[in-house]
């Protein structure tokens, strides 16, 4: 059984880094023990492959790591290029689910195509699993994807956020004639612009064209957004002309700032797509980061029976009887009671009810709420064993807001009720699709050259982290000393 020892910097809850000595002992078949400073810190089952870290990007999630509901200290960093003993390069999908580890299980989530939402998963550099700011990682064996020879490190290190950007574009599905705005194009946001531009090029072949707007407070980001494919740009500042309410069909919030969502809600006509996981309250809701983690939507609920199904209802009524968690004080309409399994009550009790079910996903498909407090409860109703927060609504499910809801304390819910605005979210994307696109698009292979403004050796991680959070930096990447460059 191999044993690897190394020194790395742990990230602490007080936002400091502290040196720690790690020992990894085990193998892919038997599992691993992770020791920190001589103490057993983590015991892993089989299905993890030891790889040497080559490069790792610093993203907004890393900068906000202390806000996220996962234990610290930890070696963080998840935008990873790693190599094996032969020097072959890999990107690593970050969710260590049963499927990703290649182990047999009866996991209801892995079995229905929701492996990235497996409740027993660890997440590289985010949830327990040591990340790419250290010189070695334990990567799920089925998640190590070979990097094509023609894709340089400068682009490959962006595969994780670029895949997430592509997933977001697929989720919003831009329509012909629309204008999709990216709010706060910087690290992830600039990649969303690039992903939109790539989709737009393909859509134009079928006559489905749409516009791409970039909206930034930093005017230096606007020419860069144009180079990534934006068709129009807007500067948000007290001196610039104010953008009118509902100026854009869809607004993608990539700001990483709680105030960004308020602006996105004001500017969007049909949909706001949330990509920010900053861990802080926004728009009167406390659990929006968890909403993004679970890829939930918030949409209006109509008491009138839809003719063919619309919005969340259409997605949830294809050949199944949906599970509805009814938290609202109003009576459910009769047609809903006939077409769905409706359970009334408070969120913690309903979460326990669904968790005890022996068939299907142990969650509701939809929760119907009539207040911001109920919306928060629908996303994270209670704490479970070990302090983990349990969910009521299944991944990629929906929170529907009743038309009689009390929404005065949330501009988001007010917009959902008053004008039918829809909030969607997404996180991890398809790494293979991102690699394939990079391999076939020479212009996209230059994204790292244009986006990464700062490079640091891993030994200078503290400085790199400080610079990455500054206005002077768009994207920072660290390189480990033992790694080469392509």
DSSP state letters, 148-197: PTTS-HHHHTTHHHHHHHHHHHHHH-PPTT-EEEEES-SHHHHHHHHHHH
420 close to 291: Cβ distance less than 8 angstroms: no
pLDDT tens by residue, 86-95: 999 999 999 9
135 close to 6: Cβ distance less than 8 angstroms: yes
Amino acid 437: pLDDT: 87
What's the rounded Cα separation, in Å, for the pair 196 and 9?
36
Residue 317 has pLDDT above 70, yes or no: no
pLDDT tens by residue, 257-270: 889 999 999 999 99
Mean pLDDT on 321-331: 95
Q: With the C-alpha atoms ordered 275, 279, 284, 286, is the resulting torsion angle positive or negative?
A: positive
DSSP state letters, 110-128: GGGT-GGG-TT-EETTTBS
The mean predicted confidence, pLDDT, of the chain is 91
Name the residue among 427, 470, 472 with its Cα closest to residue 63.
470
Q: With the C-alpha atoms ordered 246, 247, 253, 259, is the resulting torsion angle positive or negative?
A: negative
Mean pLDDT on 13-35: 96
Most confident of 276-285, 303-312, 380-389, 455-464: 455-464
**How many residues in total does the chain contain?**
486
pLDDT tens by residue, 178-198: 999 999 999 899 999 999 998
What's the rounded Cα separation, in Å, for the pair 450 and 453?
8
Determine if the peptide bond prior to 73 is cis (ω within 30°).
yes
81 close to 55: Cβ distance less than 8 angstroms: yes
Amino acid 484: pLDDT: 44
Cβ atoms within 10 Å of 441's Cβ, excluding its own: 15
Identify the three-state secondary structure at position 146.
strand
Kindly give the pairing relationship between strand 31-36 and strand 17-27: antiparallel
Name the residue among 447, 441, 444, 438 with its Cα closest to residue 474.
447
> Which domains does the chain show, CATH number per domain?
3-157+452-474 (3.90.180.10), 175-187+202-209+239-425 (no CATH)
261 close to 276: Cβ distance less than 8 angstroms: yes
The Cα-based distances of 484 to 52, 238, 457, 458 in angstroms read 11, 46, 12, 13
Higher pLDDT, 316 or 149: 149
Amino acid 383: pLDDT: 54
């Amino acid at each position: 059984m191999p044993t690897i020892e190394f020194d790395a910097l742990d990230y602490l809850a007080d936002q400091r880094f502290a040196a720690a000595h790690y020992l990894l002992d085990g193998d892919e078949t038997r599992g691993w023990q992770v020791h920190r400073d001589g103490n057993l810190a983590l015991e892993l089952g089989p299905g993890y492959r030891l790889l040497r870290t080559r490069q790792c990007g610093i993203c907004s999630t890393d900068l906000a790591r202390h806000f996220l509901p996962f234990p610290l200290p930890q070696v963080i960093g998840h935008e990873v290029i790693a190599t094996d003993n032969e020097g072959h390069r890999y990107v690593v999908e970050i969710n260590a689910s049963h499927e990703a580890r290649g182990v047999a299980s009866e996991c209801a989530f892995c079995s229905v195509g929701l492996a990235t939402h497996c409740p027993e998963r660890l997440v590289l550099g985010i949830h327990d699993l040591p990340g790419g700011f250290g010189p070695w990682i334990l990567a799920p064996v089925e998640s190590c994807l070979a990097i094509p020879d023609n894709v340089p490190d400068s682009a490959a290190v962006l595969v994780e956020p670029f895949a997430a950007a592509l997933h977001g574009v697929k989720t919003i599905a831009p329509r012909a004639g629309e204008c999709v705005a990216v709010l706060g194009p910087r690290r992830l946001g600039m990649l969303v612009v690039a992903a939109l531009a790539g989709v737009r090029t393909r859509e134009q072949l079928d006559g489905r064209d749409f516009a791409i707007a970039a909206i930034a407070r930093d005017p230096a980001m606007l020419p860069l957004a144009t180079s990534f494919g934006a068709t129009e740009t807007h500067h948000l500042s007290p001196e610039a002309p104010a953008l009118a309410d509902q100026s854009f069909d869809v607004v993608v919030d990539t700001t990483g700032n709680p105030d960004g969502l308020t602006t996105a809600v004001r500017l969007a006509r049909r949909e706001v797509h949330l990509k920010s996981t900053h861990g802080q309250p926004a728009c009167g809701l406390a659990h929006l980061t968890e909403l993004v983690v679970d890829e939930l939507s918030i949409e209006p609920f109509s008491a009138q029976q839809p003719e063919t199904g619309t919005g969340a209802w259409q997605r949830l009524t294809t050949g199944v009887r949906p599970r509805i968690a009814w938290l609202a004080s109003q009576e459910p309409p009769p047609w809903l009671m006939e077409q769905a399994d409706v359970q009334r009550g408070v969120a913690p009790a309903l979460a326990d009810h669904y968790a005890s079910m022996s068939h299907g996903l142990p969650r509701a498909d939809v929760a119907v709420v009539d207040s911001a407090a109920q919306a928060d409860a629908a996303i994270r109703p209670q704490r479970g064993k070990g302090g983990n927060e349990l969910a009521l609504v299944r991944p990629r499910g929906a929170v529907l807001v009743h038309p009689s809801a009390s929404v005065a304390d949330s501009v988001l819910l007010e917009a959902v009720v008053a004008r039918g605005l829809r909030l969607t979210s997404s996180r991890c994307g398809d790494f293979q699709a991102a690699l394939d696109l990079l391999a076939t698009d020479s212009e996209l292979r230059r994204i790292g050259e244009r986006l990464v403004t700062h490079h640091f050796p891993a030994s200078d991680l503290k400085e790199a982290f400080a610079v990455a959070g500054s206005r002077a930096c768009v994207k920072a990447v660290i390189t480990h000393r033992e790694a080469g460059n392509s």
